[in-house]
Homo-oligomer: A and B are copies of this chain.
Amino acid sequence: MLVVAGTHGNERNGVWLLERWRRNPGLLNSAGIDLVMTLGNPAAVAANRRYLERDLNRSFQPALLNDPGNQELEVRRARELLAAYGPAGSQPCQVVFDLHSTTAAMGNSLVVYGRRPADLALAAGLQERLGLPVYLHEKDPHQSGYLVEHWPCGLVIEVGPVPQGVVQARICRQTQLALETALVLLAEARRGVLRLPRQLVVHRHLHSLDVPRNANGEPCAFLDPRRQDRDWQPLRAGEPLFLSDQGQPISWEPQAEDPPTVWPVFINEAAYEEKGIVLSLSQREVWPGEATWAEALRESLRIK
C-alpha cells in the first residue's frame, strides 16, 4: 500500500508525519500491512508552496501524461510516481492514501473520486468507525486529474482547518487516526473478515461557487461571517451566504439544477482562490451498503 504526503507542498502536516514514520516506523501502527511512503511533490515541499508549475493533484490527466511535449515539473513527477508505485510500476501498489490538509473547517474527512466499490468499502468502514464525513467528487469538467484515481483503490484523507505552512498536533493526530483505521480495514478485508455498515452517507459534489464580482471582475462581496467554518452544514434557499462591500447580505438562491438545500464544503480554502472557488456545494445522500464493496476491496488487495 502506498502512502503519499506533500502532494501539495504547503500542506505540512502529512509531510511532518511521513518524515517521522520513515525515521521511526514504530510510530505508525500499520496493522501488518506493507507500506511504501513517498512525498508527492518534493520540490514543492522544499519551496513550501502548493506547486511550482502546475497543481500535481490535477496533473494525472491522460492528455498531460501522454503528451511527450509536456515537461512541466509536476507532469514529470506524476509520470515518475506511476512508473514507481502505480499498479504496473516497479514497486506496484494496489491502494493509495493521499494525505491532505485544508484551511477549511472540514474536520477529519475523506474525499472519494467517483464510485469505485473498493473506495466505497473503505469510506463506509471509516465512516462507521470514526464518523468521518465523505465528499464524493465526480463529473466536474473543471476539476480532474487527481492522483488517487490512477490506483485501483485510493482515498484522500483531508483534515482542517489549518493554515498552509503550519503543523498542528490536532491535525497530525486526526490524520494518523484515519490512516491507522484504514489500515485495520485493509487487514480485515485481506483476512476476509471485514464487515461493513448498512449505509454510507455521502456529500455528492454538485458544483463550485465564486464570490460575487463587479463588472470589472473584481470581488465585491465576501463570505458572510455566519458561514465561515460551517462546512458540512445545510444551506437553504434564501439563507445569507455573502456580504457585499456595502454590508448588504446576499442570500443563496438555487440555480437551474440545484436542490433547495445544499451542503457547502471547502469553505474559504486558500488554494482555491486562484481557481475562482470560494466553496463547493454538495448534496447529502444516504446510500445503502452493497455486499459487493467489501469483496471489491479484498480483490483489489490481491497481488496481481
Name A residues whose Cβ lies closer than 8 Å to a Cβ of B: 16, 19-20, 23-24, 27, 48-49, 103, 161-170, 172-173, 218-219, 222-225, 228, 243, 245-246, 268, 270-271, 273-274
Q: Could you tell me if A223 and B164 are in contact, using CB atoms closer than 8 angstroms?
A: no
Copies in the complex: 2
| A165 contact from B20, B162, B271, Cβ within 8 A | B271
Q: Could you tell me if A169 and B103 are in contact, using CB atoms closer than 8 angstroms?
A: no
When chains A and B are docked, how far (Å) is the Cα of A51 from the Cα of B164? 16
Q: Could you tell me if B222 and A164 are in contact, using CB atoms closer than 8 angstroms?
A: no
Q: Could you tell me if A169 and B270 are in contact, using CB atoms closer than 8 angstroms?
A: no
When chains A and B are docked, how far (Å) is the Cα of A20 from the Cα of B220? 8
Q: Could you tell me if A274 and B48 are in contact, using CB atoms closer than 8 angstroms?
A: yes
When chains A and B are docked, how far (Å) is the Cα of A78 from the Cα of B148? 45
The smallest beta-carbon distance between A226 and chain B, in angstroms, is 9
When chains A and B are docked, how far (Å) is the Cα of A218 from the Cα of B5? 17
| A48 contact from B166, B222, B273, Cβ within 8 A | B273
| A245 contact from B24, B162, B165, B268, Cβ within 8 A | B24
Q: Could you tell me if B225 and A167 are in contact, using CB atoms closer than 8 angstroms?
A: no
Residue of B nearest to A270 (CB): B165
| A164 contact from B16, B19, B270, Cβ within 8 A | B270
Q: Could you tell me if A228 and B273 are in contact, using CB atoms closer than 8 angstroms?
A: no
The smallest beta-carbon distance between A92 and chain B, in angstroms, is 30
Q: Could you tell me if B27 and A246 are in contact, using CB atoms closer than 8 angstroms?
A: yes
Q: What are 13 contact pairs spanning A and B, CB under 8 A?
A: A20-B245, A23-B218, A27-B246, A49-B49, A103-B165, A163-B164, A167-B222, A167-B223, A167-B268, A169-B224, A169-B243, A170-B228, A172-B222
